[in-house]
Amino acid sequence: MRNNDNIGHWPARRIDRRTFLLAAGTAFASAYVSRADEPTETSLRQRAEKKGLVFGTQVNAGPLFSLKPYQDAVLRDASMIVPENEMKWRPTQSTALQSNYFNADRIAKFAKDNKLLLRGHTAVWHQNPPAWTKDIITGDDGQKLVLEHASDLIKHFRERVMEWDVVNEAIAPEDGMPDNLRNWAPYNKGGIDFIVDCFYAAREADPKANLYYNDYSVYYQSQSHRRDAILGFLEKLKTKGAPVDGFGIQSHLIAKAEFDEVIYRRFLSEVADLGLKIRATELDVSDIRLELDIKLRDTIVAAHTKQYLDVLFDEPAVVGLVTWGITDRFSWLHQGWPRKDRLRQRCLPLDDNFAKKPMWYAIANAFEHAPSR
């Protein structure tokens, strides 16, 4: 999420009437669902499966293998997992000589042992090459190095990962480069054709995996330039014959940002018209613009989640939802987008102690109301 135009610069405002009513409605619904379902509350994964959808979550090897309540929460609610950082280039190849997939392999084994689907994240990402690659990437062999890395990584997990974010965050209209590509040496040199090659390399490395392009900031009114740029880009990828199966919408949301259902529905259906599947791949809801009160924050975050997911699940091309963590305790937002008052963000379905929050019930409720696939 590099949503600088929005995040961090907005003064906290009073809640407007509509947001409050929406939020209050969700709070009521949550309380109702929570009481009605206990003690055998249906998990998120079951609710999703009932509709032909998949609920997944990002996991981190640290807590996954050392903290039982965390592992229990993952196993209860998710039927798909994706490693937070364990498959990324920098943590897995600190020297040119060899790769270390110890943590990612443990996560893959955990997925297999527990019959969970495994997403791969991510093969090509400007933000994460190891330090030793710096000069190579800007030189003549930069594209070759990135392609080799993508290919080796995907081969290593062949037939263990069901779906890859092959390329992550390649679009940056603000960089002013051709085709709205990000100002990064391999893109500057190879253009979209280089990205097409990345998808071909991925297909060859694991012919059975679904291949996704993954990106952020396409949800809000103010992000039309990114929606247009990404649509144009996906269209070109398809025209050039890239083997791309889906578009991953990160969904790092911000409670109180202007969400326009009509615009978002249209965007989703335009992506679907390209013959692509869609998955929300990194949902969390920042409460950075909300006041102190925890109950109020939770209620507004839940209402925002529900409003977003109702629109998302209405689109038949959408195959599922992955949250960027299951508990507030380990969210990247505490470091990535800290609140000015330094309070902890309440951005994920479970709180710091693994208790269900209104956001959990909002997701449950959205699955309940989703049309069946």
Backbone φ and ψ for 45, nearest 5 degrees, come out as -65, -40
Phi/psi region, residue 274 (left: phi>0; alpha: psi -120 to 50; beta: rest), is alpha
Which tokens sit at 195?
């990205």
Sign of the torsion formed by the C-alpha atoms of 149, 152, 156 and 158: positive
CB nearer ligand XIL, residue 110 or residue 332: 332
Residue nearest to ligand XIL as judged by C-beta position:
332
Residue 270 annotated in active site: no
- Rank residues 84 and 298 by Cβ distance to ligand XIL and give the closer one: 84
Q: Scan for tokens 């997944």, then name that residue.
A: 56
| Sequence-distant (≥ 6) Cβ neighbours of residue 259 within 8 angstroms | 219, 220, 221, 304, 307, 308
| Shortest CB 330 distance to ligand XIL, Å | 9
- x-marked contacts with ligand XIL along 276-305 as a string, rule CB under 6 A: ------x-----------------------
Out of 79, 250, 307, 365, the residue judged to bind ligand XIL by CB under 6 A: 250
CA 88 vs CA 4, 154, 247: distances in Å: 24, 11, 19
Between 133 and 365, whose beta carbon lies closer to ligand XIL?
133
Q: Can you tell me the distance from the alpha carbon of 102 to that of 236, in angstroms, rounded to the nearest whole number?
A: 37
Choose between 168 and 299: whose C-beta lies nearer to ligand XIL.
Answer: 168
Least separation in angstroms between residue 50's CB and ligand XIL is 29
Q: How far apart are CA 287 and CA 295, in angstroms?
A: 12
**Gap between the Cα atoms of 46 and 59, Å rounded:** 19
Per-residue x/- mask for ligand XIL, residues 36 to 75, rule CB under 6 A? ----------------------------------------
The torsion defined by the Cα of 83, 85, 86 and 88, in degrees rounded to 10, comes to 120
Q: State the minimum distance, in angstroms, from the CB of residue 104 to ligand XIL.
A: 14
**332 is a contact residue toward ligand XIL (CB under 6 A):** yes
Among residues 169, 174, 261, 315, the one annotated as catalytic is 169
Q: Catalytic: 41?
A: no
85 binds ligand XIL (CB under 6 A): yes
Is 326 within 8 Å of 57 (Cβ atoms)?
yes
* CA–CA separation, 89 and 133 (whole Å): 10
**Contact status, residue 213 vs residue 248, Cβ threshold 8 Å:** yes
Tell me: does residue 19 bind ligand XIL (CB under 6 A).
Answer: no
Q: Is the peptide bond before 338 cis (omega within 30 degrees of 0)?
A: no
Q: What does the alpha-carbon distance between residue 309 and residue 249 come to, in Å, rounded to a whole number?
A: 12
Q: Least CB distance from residue 282 to ligand XIL, whole Å?
A: 6
84 binds ligand XIL (CB under 6 A): yes
Tell the smallest beta-carbon distance from residue 22 to ligand XIL (Å): 27
Spot the catalytic one: 84, 86, 163, 282. 282
The smaller minimum CB distance to ligand XIL, of residues 26 and 251, is found at 251
Q: Which is nearer to ligand XIL, 1 or 242 (CB)?
A: 1
> CA–CA separation, 163 vs 276, rounded Å?
13
Q: Which of 10, 1, 5 is nearest to 290 (CA)?
A: 10
Q: Residue 323 or 365: which CB sits closer to ligand XIL?
A: 323
Minimum CB distance to ligand XIL, residue 127 (Å): 7
Is 1 near ligand XIL (CB under 6 A)? Answer: yes
The footprint of ligand XIL (CB under 6 A) covers: 1, 84-85, 168, 250, 282, 332
Looking at the annotation, which residues are catalytic? 169, 282
